[in-house]
Amino acid sequence: MTWYRKMALSAGALVMATGGLAATASPAAAVGGCPAGKLCLYAGTNYTNMKLSTGSIDSCWDLPNYGLTSVKSYVNNMSVKATIWDRASNGEYYLDGTISPKRFSSNAGANFGYYGIACTE
C-alpha cells in the first residue's frame, strides 16, 4: 500500500470516528439551566435567580409565594403552553401572556406576571 493511500485511509477512519462521536455527544446545556420537561421562571433577566421549576401540568402557582413579583426571564421545556396572569389593583387577574412549548426569553420585560399567577395546561 502506498504512503498516500495509507494516509487517505487513516484520514477516512478519523473522520468516521469523530463523526460518530459528534453524533453521540451529549446535547448542549439546557437554556438557563432549565431541565427537559420543566417550566422555569426567573426573578432576574438572563436566566438568573430561578424561583420556580415545575413539570406539573394543569396546575397554577401564585408567583409571590415563590418570591416572584414578576417574571424577568423564562424557559418552557414542557410540551404544553404556560399562561402568565397579572393581578390588577382590584385583585382580579388578566392574561398577561402565553409561553408556548419549547420557548424561552432572557428578558420578559419589567412587569410580566406582576404579582400574578402562572398556569400550565
Domain contains 53: yes
Domain contains 95: yes
pLDDT in tens, 25-84: 334 457 889 999 999 999 999 999 999 999 999 999 999 999 999 999 999 999 999 999
Domain contains 1: no
Beta-carbon neighbour count of residue 72 at 10 Å? 25
Instruction: State the pTM of this model.
Output: 0.76
Domain contains 61: yes
pLDDT in tens, 20-39: 434 433 344 578 899 999 99
Domain contains 98: yes
> For the domain that residue 113 is a member of, what is the CATH number?
2.60.20.10
Q: What domain count does the chain have?
A: 1
H helix count then E strand count, the chain:
1, 8
Q: In which domain, by residue range, is 62 found?
A: 32-120
